Amino acid sequence: MCRPLSAVLILLTSLYLQLDIAVGAEDPQPEKEICGVKLGRVQDSVKSWLAAAKICPLNKFCDNEVHSTQFNLIPLTCIRWRGLNPASTWGPPPGRNEVLPVIESTMSTLKAMFEPTKADLVKLDEEVGRQLRDAWKELEALQTEVFLSTLASGRTERAVFYSFMEASDNPKLNHYFHPDNVEELLRYNWALPWHTRQRDMYNLIGQLARSSNDPMLETLHAVDMANVVNPGMENREHLLNGQVEKLRDNLSKNSFDTLVSIARRFPQHFTFLSQRLFKSPDADTLPNIVGFIGQLPTDEQRLITTDALLQSLMAENGTLLPQPEYAYPLALLAHDLPSLVNVKAHPDLQQGVDDVRAKFITPISGKSLQYYQNLGARPSSSPAV
């Protein structure tokens, strides 16, 4: 039995005994019987219950089959005994007028028993409440610590799971992370299902990315914001356009480390950027772009970037710009094209290579790809116009 249940059973049994005994004419004696059972035996049972209750740990269920059986037999024994002894010396059941005073007296006795402990019970309740509140605070702190460490370690799936358990709908995370955590935060935030928290997290990530002075982190942040499905996000295109302009400016200065790093580590982000990177570049910038394309890590990236560059140089009639200053830079690109994409190793890229070759056909003196390739092999030559 657990301690609270034992106490209740003891009180009920005591009340029951007092009622029967009060109806009798004499004080309870060990040899007296209750429902055919010696009073001393019943008292011994109650004492054993009380003794077991004292050694039962607080808030723990202590089951004692013997005690449970003893208690359950009491009403059954009385029912059977009264059926066998309808005219016993105990007389008929007491009337209401006789029972009510006994109940009132018993309840008064119980109240008197608990009155001295009321103040202690209040203190106990306050202490237990304080301990529970402290335990919940510790649990929340531990839960937040697990969430933050999981997030910082890059375990996105588990971090999102712990987000569902966060006590706050919008936890303040700006004091827990540094620019080194931007990549993990971006992966985590992309997977968040809550638009408001996702928006606020992107604002935090943007602050961290800018404070890092790392153009790659700033670009990743801008690309993610441009692609995430969140109706609450604003100024996304403006942020992306600003980053693309910086990347174009870097290309014009023959600086493309950021783009090559993104291509190597975040190929999907690079594919998105390659379609927006070129905007009718100046002829003087083209040699730098050709050199940049040659530095890209994969054949597919070199192909899609070459295609995007040529697309930006297309006139309205679908052919390359006719200005002579573009001829030699395009010749360099045409000359390098066979080495940029290895179709033998990647036969699936053959169609893309054929499409790029077709874009070199231009009305400039009726020259074709072969013309540009030959011109690239003789850089001192000048194109025939």
C-alpha distances (whole Å) from 122 to each of 307, 309, 371 are 79, 79, 98
Q: Can you give the pLDDT at residue 298?
A: 94
CA dist 205 and 22 (Å) reads 79
**Environment class of 293 (CB within 10 Å of its CB; exposed 0-12, middle 13-18, buried 19+):** buried
CB 333 within 8 A of CB 303: no
Residue 302: CB atoms within 10 A of its CB come to 23
What residues pair up with 34 in beta bridges, in sequence order?
Answer: 37
Cα-Cα end-to-end distance for the chain: 105
Q: Can you give the pLDDT at residue 1?
A: 45
**Tens-place pLDDT, residues 212-241:** 889 999 999 999 999 988 887 877 888 999
Residue 207 has which token pair? 């602050």
Residue 277 has which token pair? 């990177």
The domain segmentation of the chain, as residue ranges, is 175-279, 281-376
- Scan for tokens 């890092």, then name that residue: 212
Instruction: Give 180's DSSP letter.
Output: G
Phi, psi of 318 (to 5 degrees): 85, 10
Residue 150: CB atoms within 10 A of its CB come to 20
- Smallest Cα–Cα separation from 323: which of 290, 288, 284? 284
**Tens-place pLDDT, residues 132-168:** 887 777 766 676 676 666 666 666 556 555 555 554 5
| Count of all residues that appear for the chain in the document | 385
Residue 124: CB atoms within 10 A of its CB come to 11
Which residues, in sequence order, are CB contacts of 370 under 8 Å at separation 6+? Answer: none
Q: Can you give the pLDDT at residue 166?
A: 56
Which residues, in sequence order, are CB contacts of 199 under 8 Å at separation 6+? Answer: 230, 232, 233
- Scan for tokens 């174009």, then name that residue: 248
C-alpha distances (whole Å) from 245 to each of 16, 53, 291 are 91, 79, 19
Q: Can you give the pLDDT at residue 164?
A: 53
pLDDT tens, N- to C-terminus, the chain (385 residues): 444 444 444 444 554 444 444 444 444 455 677 777 777 777 787 788 777 777 776 556 677 788 778 777 777 777 777 777 765 545 555 555 667 777 878 888 877 777 777 777 777 788 888 888 877 777 666 766 766 666 666 665 565 555 555 545 555 555 567 788 788 888 877 877 778 878 888 888 888 899 888 999 999 999 999 998 888 787 788 899 999 999 999 998 999 999 999 999 999 999 999 999 988 778 888 888 988 999 999 999 999 999 999 888 887 767 777 777 877 788 778 878 888 888 889 999 999 988 888 887 765 545 666 666 666 554 444 443 3
List the alpha helices (DSSP H) in 253-346: 257-265, 267-274, 286-295, 299-312, 327-340
C-alpha distances (whole Å) from 306 to each of 294, 309, 385 are 10, 5, 24
Reported pTM? 0.57
- Reduced to 3 states (helix: H, G, I; strand: E, B; else coil), residue 249 is helix
